[in-house]
């Protein structure tokens, strides 16, 4: 049985992953802004530093895996774009950089980062924007996002945060520090999954209309526990040869938008 760190553990898909791992007999260290072993606000450098340290202390320097599910959606608000970049990008990469030695210590660790099918379905996000996020130049990224229009800025920030984190995963997965240390670093890209994050978006009539009009060939919304099953598979021995992949589980939307574009 292994020891896993799971962020975003208090709700939705993170909570479903925790339930599955614990029922399989694993030890899970949960991280969230509420109701967790490690309570920390991943939108601040202090919170991210405390979360990283506390998990390392509790796991005694060895992690068999990590699931980075903490994230916030594109709700309205002038501060929202910055918050999205902090939680959805830095809340993943700051923790993973700190935990990398503990993951390497396990010899065959698996990491699953929550991306999104917004990476391929939200238009107009330039490479310069996502590269600025990866370079931690958030001011530049936010300036570029706001050029696309204040009203849609949270949606563009959300898509940009998920593209940036996916590029970060693929760039790092194949390096000596990650693959070379036996760490399998991958991401899952869900479509619309019925969790509190999606329910918050559905509560706004204009957003609900947009979400319901979005092409999902299979139809309907995804189930959080189905996604948790994909994640636990990606953490299992069956995923030993999976490295740097972004796994889309989205009812077919990504294929619908870019059937031949890959
Ligand atoms: P959710 O809202 O149910 O859960 C997100 C969790 O993150 C919550 O427990 C919340 O407390 C935590 N969190 C938010 N801000 C935090 C902060 N500052 N510090 C610490 N914890 C914080 O959402 P979900 O739908 O289960 O989303 C999980 C992941 O999947 C997210 O990264 C989300 O972007 C991604 N995703 C969701 C969907 C969807 O349709 N639900 C689709 C694609 C991707």
Could you give the CA distance from residue 116 to residue 18 in angstroms, rounded to a whole number?
20
CA 139/CA 207 separation, integer angstroms: 27
> Ligand 1 centroid vs 13 CA: distance in angstroms?
7
Residues 57 and 30: their CA atoms lie apart, in Å, by 13
* 152 alpha carbon, distance to own chain's centre: 21
Whether 215 is in a domain gets the answer yes
**Residue 179 in tokens:** 């693959």
Query: Which helix (H) or strand (E) covers residue 59, if one does?
Result: helix 45-59
Residue 6 in this model has a pLDDT that exceeds 90: yes
Q: Could you tell me the distance, in angstroms and rounded to a whole number, from the CA of residue 50 to the centre of ligand 1?
A: 19
Using only C-alpha atoms, what is the Rg of the chain?
17
Count Cβ atoms below 10 Å from residue 180 Cβ, excluding itself: 10
Q: Which of 191, 202, 132, 198 is nearest to 160 (CA)?
A: 132
Q: Is the dihedral of CA 112, 234, 158, 69 positive or negative?
A: negative
**∠ CA 148-82-227, rounded to 5°:** 95
Supply the pLDDT for residue 161: 98
Mean pLDDT computed over 5-9: 99
Ligand 1 pocket test: pick from 19, 44, 69, 208 the residue with the most ligand atoms within 8 Å of its Cβ: 69
Question: Is residue 80 in some structural domain?
Answer: yes
CA nearest to 72, candidates 202, 161, 153: 161
Mean pLDDT value across residues 130-156: 97
pTM: 0.99
Tokens encoding 21: 């791992």
The pLDDT confidence band at residue 261, using thresholds 50, 70 and 90, is confident
Q: 260 lies in a domain? A: no
Does the predicted interface ipTM exceed a cut of 0.90? yes
Residues 79, 125 contacting (CB under 8 angstroms): no
Pocket probe mutation, ligand 1, options 5, 10, 11, max atoms within 8 Å of Cβ: 11
Q: How far apart are CA 112 and CA 110, in angstroms?
A: 7
What pLDDT, on a 0 to 100 scale, did the predictor assign at position 186? 99
pLDDT in tens, 155-203: 999 999 999 999 999 999 999 999 999 999 999 999 999 999 999 999 9
Q: Is 262 inside any structural domain?
A: no
Is residue 245 included in any domain, yes or no? yes
| Contact by Cβ (8 Å): 154, 75 | yes
Q: How far is the CA of 24 from the centre of ligand 1 (A)?
A: 23
Overall number of domains in the chain: 1
| Share of residues in the chain with pLDDT > 70 (%) | 100
Beta bridge partners of 222: 193
Among protein residues, the one with the nearest Cα to ligand 1's atom 35 is 114
8 A C-beta contact, residue 245 and residue 187: yes
84 is a domain residue: yes
Q: Could you tell me the CATH number of the domain that includes residue 75?
A: 3.40.50.720
Model pLDDT for residues 51-101, shown as the tens digit of each residue: 999 999 999 999 999 999 999 999 999 999 999 999 999 999 999 999 999
Span from the CA of 11 to the centroid of ligand 1 (angstroms): 7
**113 phi and psi angles, rounded to 5 deg:** -100, 135
- The residue nearest atom 29 of ligand 1, judged by CA position, is 69
Domain extent, residue 79, equals 3-254
- Ligand 1 pocket: which residues have CB below 6 Å? 8, 10-14, 32-34, 41-43, 69-72, 87, 114, 116, 190, 192-193, 195-198
Residue 243 lies in a domain: yes
Residue 104 lies in a domain: yes
Q: Which of 250, 135, 259, 261 is nearest to 189 (CA)?
A: 250
Q: Between the CA atoms of 38, 40, 45 and 49, what dihedral angle is there, to the nearest 10 degrees?
A: -10
pLDDT band at 107 (very low <50, low <70, confident <90, very high): very high
At 262 the pLDDT is 81
Measuring from atom 23 of ligand 1, which residue has the nearest CA?
Answer: 197
Catalytic residue list = 158
Q: Give the position of tokens 């995804």.
A: 222
């Amino acid at each position: 049985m292994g020891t896993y760190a799971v962020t975003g553990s208090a709700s939705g898909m993170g909570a479903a992953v925790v339930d599955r791992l614990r029922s399989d007999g694993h030890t899970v260290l949960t991280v969230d802004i509420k109701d967790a072993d490690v309570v920390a606000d991943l939108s601040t450098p202090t919170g991210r530093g405390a979360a990283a340290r506390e998990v390392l202390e509790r796991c005694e320097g060895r992690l068999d895996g990590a699931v980075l599910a903490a994230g916030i959606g594109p709700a309205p608000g002038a501060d929202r774009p910055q918050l999205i970049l902090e939680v959805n990008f830095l809340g993943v990469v700051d923790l993973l950089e700190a935990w990398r030695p503990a993951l390497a210590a396990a010899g065959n660790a698996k990491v699953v980062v929550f991306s999104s099918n917004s990476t391929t379905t939200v238009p107009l996000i330039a490479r310069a924007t996502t590269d600025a996020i990866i370079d931690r130049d958030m001011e530049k990224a936010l300036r570029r996002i706001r050029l696309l229009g204040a009203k849609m800025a949270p949606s563009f920030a959300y898509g940009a945060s998920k593209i940036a984190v996916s590029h970060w995963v693929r760039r790092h997965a194949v390096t000596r520090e990650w693959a070379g240390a036996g760490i399998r670093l991958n991401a899952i890209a869900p479509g619309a999954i019925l969790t509190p994050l999606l329910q918050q978006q559905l509560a706004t009539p204009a957003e609900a209309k947009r979400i319901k009009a979005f092409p999902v060939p299979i139809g309907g919304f995804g189930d959080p526990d189905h996604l948790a099953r994909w994640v636990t598979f990606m953490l299992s021995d069956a995923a030993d040869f999976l490295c740097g992949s972004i796994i889309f589980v989205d009812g077919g939307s990504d294929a619908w938008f870019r059937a031949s574009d890959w």
